[in-house]
Amino acid sequence: MPLDTVCCMCRRLYEDGGHLFLKCKEVKAIWRELNLEDVRQDLAEAVSVKEMMVKILNLNHKQQLMSMMLLLIWWGERNKWREEGRRRTAGEVAYLTALLTDRFQAKEAKRLLPDFRQAQSSQAQKWRKPNSGHFKVNTDGAYDSNTGLECWGFIIRDDQGMMVKSSAGEEAFLQNALHAELLGCPAGLTEAARLGLNQVCQEVDASADENCD
Ligand SMILES: [Zn+2]
């Protein structure tokens, strides 16, 4: 069976692991953009996948994460381009790689900080039922000041605590967690209105106040 073995990203050379991830001119631009050209050159000298992995494991933590993230994202890019004809620019892939690496590190830091977890759990409040016949919309937000990325979410429950509906979304370039949380409010209320619920309480995480009408 004849197979097309040419690299689909550059259409110039044969695709193997070394070419696709390290030597293709398309991917080289991204390693450069991420200030990882030295790392790329070193990895390209490896004579086996195992040797390359050992080199990655010996990198400093940030470079290690970023390299792994790039390999993963680039494989996805290659498949998307091959199967669906869609691809990002080198700048976009570099940005995404850096962004996801930062997010991953932020999550990791949270896991490593028991104080942070303790503070979080002591803040958690027990959910209280709304008045009989009412529905309650709870909203919450999360914000990463390094990336300006944030997520909001809401959940609508009935007076027995049964979930009626929930949803979540993501926004970029907003100001803080409260801002994220506030975005969940109209989303939750709009959904409640769409469902025809007319006795609705709203509760946000950052505030103990409830507004019922
Ligand atoms: Zn190529």
Looking at per-residue pLDDT, the higher value among 176 and 208 belongs to 176
Q: What are the pLDDT digits (tens) for 49-72? A: 999 999 999 999 999 999 999 999
> Model confidence over 87-113: pLDDT tens digits?
899 999 999 999 999 988 888 777 666
Closest among 187, 202, 55 to 135, alpha carbons compared: 202
Task: Work out the average pLDDT over 156-184.
Answer: 78
Q: Tell me the pLDDT band of 124, cut-offs 50, 70 and 90.
A: low
- Cα–Cα distance, 29 to 166 (Å, whole number): 41
Is 144 strand, coil or helix?
strand
Residue 13 banded pLDDT, cuts 50, 70, 90: confident
The chain-wide mean pLDDT, for the chain, equals: 83
How far apart are the CA of 21 and the centre of ligand 1, in A? Answer: 9
Rounded to two decimals, the pTM is 0.53
CA atoms within 13 A on the CB side of 124: 6
20 Cα: distance to centroid of ligand 1 (angstroms):
6
Measured in angstroms, how far is the CA atom of residue 24 from the centroid of ligand 1?
4
Span 120-124, average pLDDT: 52
Find the helix or strand (DSSP H, E) in which 187 lies: helix 177-194
> How remote is the CA of residue 25 from the centroid of ligand 1, in Å?
6
Q: Which one is predicted more confidently, 140 or 18?
A: 18
74 Cα: distance to centroid of ligand 1 (angstroms): 12
The reported pLDDT for the residue numbered 31 is 97
State residue 1's pLDDT score. 86
**How far, in Å, from the CA of 62 to the mean position of ligand 1?**
26
Q: Tell me the CA–centroid distance for residue 102 and ligand 1, in Å.
A: 28
pLDDT at 125 over 80: no
Per-domain residue ranges for the chain?
17-114, 125-212
Distance 23 CA to ligand 1 centre (A): 7
Structural contact between residues 9 and 78, judged by C-beta atoms closer than 8 angstroms: yes
Q: Is 87 helix (H, G, I), strand (E, B) or coil?
A: coil
Ordered alpha helix ranges (H), 11-170? 17-18, 25-33, 37-44, 49-57, 61-84, 90-112, 114-123
The answer to which of 19-28, 52-61, 148-157 has the lowest mean pLDDT is: 148-157
125-212 placed in CATH 3.30.420.10: yes
Residue 134 CA to ligand 1 center (angstroms) comes to 60
CA of 169 to the centre of ligand 1 (A): 36
- Of 30-34, 39-43, 148-152, the range with the lowest mean pLDDT is 148-152
